Structure 1
Amino acid sequence: MLTTFDKDENVFDAIRSAASGYLLKDIAPEDLRHAICVVADGQSLLAPSITGKVMHAAASVQTRARPELVEGLSGRGHQILAAIGTA
């Protein structure tokens, strides 16, 4: 996506819509050419100013508890898992 908007909601809507990249229109022409090649090669690319927003959001996402994964653990297994969770 090539846009002038760098608002969080626009960035995350584009990512959820399977955009392979998110670039701002102030990008230099040579960087735009490079970005097109990167995306055409099946990779993803974000504008540097957008990368920080995505990294911050990813770091703040909490994982959903999955009790079925720990049901069969022994008492010691639960202790180890708790220790890993606090590390």
Structure 2
Amino acid sequence: MAGSRQVFQDASGEQVQPVQQGEDPALAPFLQTLDDHISAHPEQLQPLTTDLMAHLDNLAGAIHVDLDAPLETDGEEDEDCASL
């Protein structure tokens, strides 16, 4: 495990900090890109209408997601993937 005093270098030789558990290094750049696009093109935002919700429900089929259920932690297998 990387200690906090260790220094790492990427392929170009630049120093990088080790990623802390739970951090996603792609999340911040993705959110910044999304923010930049929304700021530059607010006219492309669409309201979430009942027709759009019906279309999304049709695309997702009978998938049920319990938003109140706890997330799985590392090391737990998803029952659907256990046979793979």
* TM-score interval, normalised by the smaller of the two chains: under 0.3
The structure where strand makes up a greater share of residues is 1
Return the TM-score normalized by structure 1.
0.23
Larger proportion of helix? 1
Tell me the TM-score normalised to structure 2 length: 0.24
